[in-house]
Amino acid sequence: MTSMTELSYASGTSAKPLLGDTIGANFDRTAAAFADREALVERATGRRWTYDQLAAEVDAVALGLLDLGVGKGDRVGIWAPNCAEWMFVQYATAKIGAVLVTINPAYRVHELEFVLNQAGIRTLVAAPAFKTSDYAAMIEQVRPRCAALEDVVLLGGGSWDALLEAGRAGDPGRLAGIGATLTADDPINIQYTSGTTGFPKGATLSHHNILNNGFFVGEGCGYDQEDRICVPVPFYHCFGMVMGNLAATSHGACVVIPAPAFDPRATLEAVAAERCTSLYGVPTMFIAELNDPSFAEHDLSSLRTGIMAGSPCPVEVMKQVIERMGMAEVTICYGMTETSPVSTQTRADDSLDRRVSTVGTVHPHLEVKIVDPETGVTVPRGTPGEFCTRGYSVMLGYWEQPDKTAEVIDAARWMHTGDLAVMDADGYVNITGRIKDMVIRGGENIYPREIEEFLYTHPDIVDAQVIGVPDARYGEELMAWVRLREGAGPLTAEGLREFCAGRLAHYKIPRYVHVVDEFPMTVTGKIRKVQMRAEAVDILGLHDAAKQRHA
């Protein structure tokens, strides 16, 4: 009989208790304790805020939103690249109990419309434009079809100025009164994850979920008020707004925004100029920084720690980050949006081998187990199975989709991640694959089903299967296998890209196209994506990328 100690189960202990307060209360306490310390630096504009100044901006935005009629439980969308205002809105909504809906800056019209309607967004704060995206025009296009949407506030424009003006003229005493009515278990954030059914699902997270996860990620990095965290990862995702912003403000540390969107040189310049002690990124970002022609010109000697996450971390890249960037205490985190996000993290005192070849051990106050996907029984250590986690970090559920929630959170409140993992004798976890077909491209979670359904709208495509194939830069890239209607002309990758451009977010557009007469099938008629992935490596000559070792 297998003893408990040999099972793939672990629970995280800590001398520090969970935080029981709301994000607003926690932030106010930090702002009072570290009033004169720098809290936020925006490199693109040169603007800086101390904690005292940041608190004043947050309160002004909170009172401005109240002036618009936004109340507890109302959904407020934010659609913008990384900027200081994004952070103001994050904390302002938390202070008044509104639910912040974070919208991917890469979304196009049909994705925006879906999220606005599914979440019932009442007020949308957006950048007027970014890169080639005219956000204002897209919003006007969908607005007539979004019944709940009452107010659109464009950053840098008259509507944003009016909101701030109203807020600065408001009574700050109102915020204390509202704060007293909020609880840590209130929903505070909806983050959309690509959906297997062709539409995204809104993971609904509470103060308790994300404040504690940010705090304990910060504990894992050893943060205090002396730390300066360079955050080039997007705020719309947990990596930026939880592991970045909330980890910082729960420790009195400073957030440095190197650029509105990731730019390797701007990131290196920010670390050097601001003497950052911590740097975040998905592996793709670190690869780009290490390979930037100007790398040697930047003094990175202030770096101590940081986080690599969001995608399988190549072992060689991790070694270079430690050796060439001086991030001796860099950690790897593993998690998912639905778990706020982090479930495991490597520690600064782990051996180099552990830190480059595993995703660490269970986080404080959480439980993890690895189960047989068929039976749900916990497997012995060293045996692969599905990674499950339970505890304060598990989302409240998918917004207004109890059926979808029930598919991933069982009766005992275990979150079933769909990831295959192995736990060793000491409790260290390796992620070995995915039960579902989700593709992780440069930290973006992509569900093939959503893209397949879209490809069916192409006039020449009668059937489509999308798979992830190895890629040295992004970890994985998308490849579409398609069957064409009889008499259709040739379909190239470039032609398919043109069809998708402007209709699918850029990261969801397949890089490779392979036209077939039929797909590999099992005897029961199921598509064999495993075989397709293996064949794709040969077809595309991706043997070197496929050999890369990951944690």
* Helices 264-274 and 283-290, packing angle to 10 deg: 80
- In this structure, of 14-28, 354-368, 449-463, the range with the lowest mean pLDDT score is 449-463
Q: How many CB atoms lie within 10 A of CB 62?
A: 28
Mean pLDDT in residue range 339-345: 98
Mean pLDDT in residue range 336-340: 96
Q: What whole-number distance in Å separates Cα of residue 340 and Cα of residue 232?
A: 19
Q: Which residue has the higher pLDDT, 196 or 498?
A: 498
* pLDDT bracket for residue 166 (50, 70, 90): very high
What was the pLDDT predicted at 18?
Answer: 98
**422 Cβ neighbours under 8 A, 6+ residues apart:** 8, 370, 382, 383, 384, 385, 429, 430, 432
Structural tokens at position 499: 């069809």
Place of tokens 């190895």: 470
CA-closest candidate to residue 366, choices 4, 126, 11? 11
Mean pLDDT in residue range 184-205: 85
What was the pLDDT predicted at 196?
Answer: 39
pLDDT at 315 over 90: no
CA distances from 392 to 205, 334, 360, 388, 443 (A): 10, 16, 19, 14, 24
* pLDDT bracket for residue 197 (50, 70, 90): very low
Mean pLDDT in residue range 357-381: 95
β-strand partners of 491: none
147 dihedral zone (left: phi>0; alpha: psi -120 to 50; beta): alpha
Cβ proximity of 90 and 116 under 8 Å: no
Q: What CATH number is given for 1-16+362-436 in this structure? A: 2.30.38.10
What was the pLDDT predicted at 438?
Answer: 76
The per-residue DSSP string of 197-243 comes to TSS-EEEEEEHHHHHHHHHHHHHHTT--TT-EEE--S-TTSHHHIII
Instruction: Let me know how long the chain is.
Output: 551
Name the helix (H) or strand (E) containing 64. Answer: helix 51-67
Mean pLDDT in residue range 311-317: 76
Q: What whole-number distance in Å separates Cα of residue 246 and Cα of residue 26?
A: 10
Q: What is the CA radius of gyration of the chain?
A: 23
**Cis peptide leading into residue 144 (ω within 30°):** no
* pLDDT bracket for residue 486 (50, 70, 90): confident
Q: What whole-number distance in Å separates Cα of residue 520 and Cα of residue 497?
A: 25
CA distances from 386 to 22, 311, 333 (A): 32, 17, 18
What was the pLDDT predicted at 545?
Answer: 87
Query: Please, what is the average pLDDT of the chain?
Result: 93
Question: In percent, how much of the chain has pLDDT > 70?
Answer: 96
Query: Taking the domains of the chain in order of start, what are their residue ranges?
Result: 1-16+362-436, 20-39+46-208+235-252, 439-547
Q: Report pLDDT digits (tens) over 59-118.
A: 999 999 999 999 999 999 999 999 999 999 999 999 999 999 999 998 999 899 999 999
- In this structure, of 33-47, 138-152, 341-355, the range with the lowest mean pLDDT score is 341-355
**118 Cβ neighbours under 8 A, 6+ residues apart:** 199, 200, 202, 399, 400
Q: How many CB atoms lie within 10 A of CB 490?
A: 9
Q: Report pLDDT digits (tens) over 246-276.
A: 999 999 999 999 999 999 999 999 999 999 9
3-class state of residue 331 by DSSP? strand
The per-residue DSSP string of 110-170 comes to HHHHHHHHHHTEEEEEE-S-BTTB-HHHHHHHHGGG-TT--EEEETTSHHHHHHHHHHHTS
CA-closest candidate to residue 202, choices 120, 125, 110, 143? 120
Q: Report pLDDT digits (tens) over 455-481.
A: 988 999 988 899 999 999 999 999 999
What was the pLDDT predicted at 326?
Answer: 96
Cβ proximity of 70 and 100 under 8 Å: no
Q: What CATH number is given for 20-39+46-208+235-252 in this structure? A: 3.40.50.12780
Mean pLDDT in residue range 508-526: 83
Structural tokens at position 283: 């592996």
β-strand partners of 468: 478
The domain made up of 439-547 is a member of CATH 3.30.300.30: yes
pLDDT at 1 over 50: no
pLDDT at 386 over 60: yes
Mean pLDDT in residue range 381-398: 96
What was the pLDDT predicted at 363?
Answer: 98
Cβ proximity of 360 and 331 under 8 Å: yes
Mean pLDDT in residue range 308-320: 82
β-strand partners of 123: 76, 151
